[in-house]
Amino acid sequence: MTMMVQPFLQRSTSERDSSEFYTIATLGSHSALQILKGARDEGFKTLAIAAPDTERLYKSFGFIDEVITIQKYSEFMGLVPELEKRKIIIVPHGSFVAYLSLDDHKKMSIPYFGNKAVLDWEASRELQRQWLTRAGLKVPRQFRTGAEIDRPVIVKLYGAQGGKGYMFLRHSQDFDERAGLLARQDYILQEYVIGVPFYIHYFYSPLTGKLEIMSMDRRYETNVDSLGRIPSRAQEGMDIDPSYVVVGNSPLSLRESMLAEAYRMGEDVVRVSQEICGPKGLFGAFCIETIITPDAQFYIMEVSARIVAGTNLFIDGSPYSYLNYSEPMSTGRRIAREIKNALLSNSLNTVLDDSTQVS
């Protein structure tokens, strides 16, 4: 029997009481559509904070109850006093983090889904590396200077997003030739792991202590994903460098024999986060960005501590979320379900950052 999503009006009074009076809000970008659709499906009111060029888009969706327009996303903090007066819960996504500074994030006192303490560990590549290593996960080697390079490396600029400006260097001689391009920039030199990029999306529930694999994707990057279309012989003399700019995502499923390892990695990341970022640790949605080598080893490039854009492929659920829910369950909806379950069990504060507790 297929389980139907219960229409809002047919829900029990207690269910309506829990979510009806709260509005889930997010910034109009990244995965806002998924978050707000999920919120509506779970019975919440929904609010998108848009900019003049995105306002009409967000208004065009029936599941968004309200759109507030600000001139620039970076002006979001000016809206905070108004939002604080309402029963709003903020669900952050990647663009939220990109547009607001870490300080603003911490200052924002609107009820906030997630643990802000994780932000510091996520934002610093060094701290992230400590976190991952402590969790027993394999990370690519790092080199401090060009002279140390003894294998192909990827140069990662600090603050870059979506792989912009990354550079592939074959050896230390390559580094010497490009050093001019890197002057006055902060970057890391990381071993280039040859394998397939594989992004695994998780959800950890602080209410049940259970970890779920939600979905998986790979990024489609230009031009590194198209170089194989031109035989290497024909590329000779063409002066093509691989670049890593994300232009899309495609869905993946993992060989089932590797799934237990993927699950264990998620558990280890959560376990260590509870040691380093306060007892609440990392909860809600997160993603481990891996490269899998031919001997089926996962190397970890990064952890994203919230919903990632790759989950937008699965607004209607993924094969993995179907196994747990037998109904469409996007990561956005899973977040709203967690908030609703918290309200129903009188434990909303468990899913909110400690600085934004409600009384």
Residue 296 is encoded by which pair of tokens? 């089926």
Residues 7-46 as x/- pattern, contact with ligand ATP by CB under 6 A: ----------------------------------------
Within positions 196 to 235, which residues make up the interface with ligand ATP, using CB under 6 A?
A: 197, 219, 221
Which letter, b or e, does each residue of 285-303 get, where b requires 16 or more Cβ atoms within 10 Å of its Cβ? bbbbbbbbeeeeebbbbbb
Note whether 128 binds ligand ATP by CB under 6 A. no
The window from 100-108, 206-214, 296-304, 313-321 that contacts ligand ATP (CB under 6 A) reads 296-304
Min CB(88)–ligand ATP separation in Å: 27
Nearest alpha-carbon partner for 91 in 271, 340, 345, 347? 340
Residue 201 is encoded by which pair of tokens? 């999306």
Q: Which is nearer to ligand ATP, 268 or 302 (CB)?
A: 302
Cα distances from 251 to residues 25, 195, 315, 318, 334, in angstroms, run 27, 17, 12, 9, 18
Note whether 190 binds ligand ATP by CB under 6 A. yes
Distance between CA 80 and CA 101 in Å, rounded?
14
Min CB(342)–ligand ATP separation in Å: 28
Distance between CA 39 and CA 112 in Å, rounded?
14
Within positions 308 to 347, which residues make up the interface with ligand ATP, using CB under 6 A?
A: none
Q: Contact 289/303 with Cβ under 8 angstroms? A: yes
Q: Contact 113/284 with Cβ under 8 angstroms? A: yes
Note whether 154 binds ligand ATP by CB under 6 A. yes
Note whether 165 binds ligand ATP by CB under 6 A. no
Min CB(79)–ligand ATP separation in Å: 25
Q: Which of 174, 268, 302, 327 binds ligand ATP (CB under 6 A)?
A: 302
Q: Which is nearer to ligand ATP, 94 or 111 (CB)?
A: 94
Q: Contact 167/250 with Cβ under 8 angstroms? A: no
- The DSSP symbol for 113 reads B
The window from 6-14, 49-57, 188-196, 263-271 that contacts ligand ATP (CB under 6 A) reads 188-196
- Binding-site ranges for ligand ATP (CB under 6 A): 140, 154, 160-163, 166, 190-193, 197, 219, 221, 244, 289, 291, 301-302, 304
